[in-house]
Amino acid sequence: MLGAAAQDYLKTIYKIALTEERATPSLVAERLGVSAAAVTKMLRRLQELKLVNYTRNQELSLTMAGEKVALEIIRHHRLLEAYLMEALGYTWDQVDAEAEKLEHVISEEFEDRIDQLLGYPSHDPHGDPIPTKDGHMEWVRHRTLTEMEPGQSSVICRVADRDPAMLRYLGDLGLYPAAPVEMLGKAPYGGPLRVRVDGVEHAIGKELADHVFVSAAPEPSAA
């Protein structure tokens, strides 16, 4: 059986490949907080197991078998996040750390029961898609809040979840998935953005806005 550390590597490589131009050993080391030597050793093992492809130009990709493992762990993680928040009262900044501890140990039956209890959710509390039981995940590359222009309106669809403190602050501002947001103005030279979130005006920095992803606001229904 593949250990938790190996599963974490596969999950991390998969997620990097979705959001970055290239998945590289240095990015994996940064995301997992491990040394370059540790990454090299694990990648060698994952290659031997035919779970990872590692090209000479330092680019990583998962084999079909590696992707299957990664998606299963991501499914466990995101279902657990939804369960912890909806059934046990955790806040959205607490669920990631708890799900990390549990994702490697729950059984398939437990996974199925969580899924059923929650009504078969399609997204986790941060707006990330939950892979299906058969290993399919719908991924859309949304624009960031920073990319909106003054006068434009959108709906928040996803928020980066790696920083609990940032999530708490975003929550205080009401920047949750499904919240309507309008760009009111942008200060020059990297200054703050003025946005209206669910009717309330806020000034936020560009760095923060880069971690909030939006989609087009729904078309108004016909009268």
What are the chain's domains? 4-62 (1.10.10.10), 72-139 (1.10.60.10), 143-216 (2.30.30.90)
- Is residue 20 within 8 A of residue 28, CB to CB? The reply is no
- pLDDT tens for 189-211 read 888 999 999 889 999 999 999 99
What's the pLDDT score for residue 216? 63
Structure tokens at 7: 């599963």
Q: What is the mean pLDDT of each run of 10 residues along the chain (223 residues)?
A: 92 91 91 94 95 86 95 97 96 95 94 96 96 90 92 94 93 94 92 93 94 72 41
Question: Which residue reads 């680019």 in tokens?
Answer: 59
- How far, in Å, are 34, 63, 66, 67 from residue 48 at the CA level? 21, 12, 12, 15
How far apart, in whole angstroms, are the C-alpha atoms of residue 151 and residue 132? Answer: 37
Residue 140, strand partner residues: none
- The strand ranges marked E within 60-208 are 60-62, 143-144, 153-159, 180-186, 193-197, 200-204
How far apart, in whole angstroms, are the C-alpha atoms of residue 192 and residue 190? Answer: 7
Structure tokens at 197: 């979130």
Radius of gyration of the chain from its Cα atoms, rounded to whole angstroms: 19
User: Residue 15: enclosing H or E segment and its boundaries?
Assistant: helix 4-19
The model carries a pTM of 0.88
How far apart, in whole angstroms, are the C-alpha atoms of residue 53 and residue 103? Answer: 24
Structure tokens at 23: 């998945």
- pLDDT tens for 83-96 read 999 999 999 999 99
What's the pLDDT score for residue 222? 42
Long-range contacts of 189-194 (CB under 8 A, 24+ apart): 193/145, 193/146
What's the pLDDT score for residue 218? 47
For residue 105, which amino acid is it? V
